[in-house]
Amino acid sequence: QVQLVQSGAEVKKPGASVQVSCKASGYTFTGYYLHWVRQAPGQGLEWMGRINPNSGDTNYAQKFQDRVTMTRDTSISTVYMEVSRLRSDDTAVYYCTRGRPVSDAFDFWGQGTMVTVSS
Amino acid sequence: DIQMTQSPSSLSASVGDRVTITCRASQSISNYLNWYQQKPGKAPKLLIYAASSLQSGVPSRFGGSGSGTDFTLTISSLQPEDFATYYCQQSYSTPQTFGQGTKLEIK
């Protein structure tokens, strides 16, 4: 069965960086885009960007363009997202999610990783 | 960026009711519209993709329609487990964007 398993919760200080991992299993890792979506406490869903695990190509939302880096390691079917220069408003649950072919709807989701940014 | 506007933002309904949530895109997105359900503390769950296709395992009381800029999610007969927050999302172009959500509460 398809699973996306994310790394655990993080607490960081403003200005630091955080890396969240997402390990995929149960399907061909290189066959589907993986996306990152975040949700601040009590707020809605926000798309951050995506990575093509086959080529490593990425697309980022403009607001994250200079602070987010998405990478992958095909040998262990894992994608990573790093957010640098953290601010308090980056406090959120970060989800990785798989895009369906053609529609690119998000059909499987990781369990979420809570990142808290606090001095 | 394409803006997605959902209405209503919140809704009170009873078990057995028929409920409709609407989503409007700021420009045409063809049928690249998806619907998700989210319960507190959980990841979103895909219900409907490509405007009207039911995701595997989702009960048939959920239905979607629309194309272009106007879309609807209908729940034909509310069940207790359906009380949650619902989001629409466009996957027509990046950045993919979500509606602000509709919180469905028990009346």
Q: By percentage, how much of chain B surpasses pLDDT 90?
A: 98
* Contact criterion met (CB < 8 Å) for B49 and A61: no
CB contacts < 8 A (A, B): 62
Cross-strand pairs, B102 = B86
pLDDT value of residue A99: 96
Cα angle A81-A83-A55, degrees, rounded to a multiple of 5:
35
A3 touches chain B (CB under 8 A): no
Which among A46, A47, A95 has CB closest to B43? A95
Tell me what the mean pLDDT of segment A63-92 comes to: 97
Tell me what the mean pLDDT of segment B36-46 comes to: 98
Torsion of CA B89, B92, B95, B99, to 10 degrees: -20
End-to-end CA distance of chain B: 36
Nearest Cα residue to B20 out of B71, B65, B75: B75
Per-residue tokens: B2:
């394409």
Indicate left, alpha or beta for B48 from its phi (over 0: left) and psi (-120 to 50: alpha). Answer: beta
Mean pLDDT of all residues belonging to chain A: 97
Cross-strand pairs, A68 = A83
Q: Which residue has the higher pLDDT, A103 or B35?
A: B35
B98 touches chain A (CB under 8 A): yes
Q: Residue B60 above 90 pLDDT? A: yes
Q: Residue A59 above 90 pLDDT? A: yes
Buried b (16+ CB within 10 A) or exposed e, A7-19: beebebeeeeebe
A59 touches chain B (CB under 8 A): yes
Establish how many alpha carbons lie within 13 A of residue A103's alpha carbon, considering only the half-sphere containing its beta carbon. Answer: 21
What single-letter amino acid sits at A6?
Answer: Q
Q: Residue B103 above 90 pLDDT? A: yes
> pLDDT tens-digit profile of A20-37?
999 999 999 999 999 999
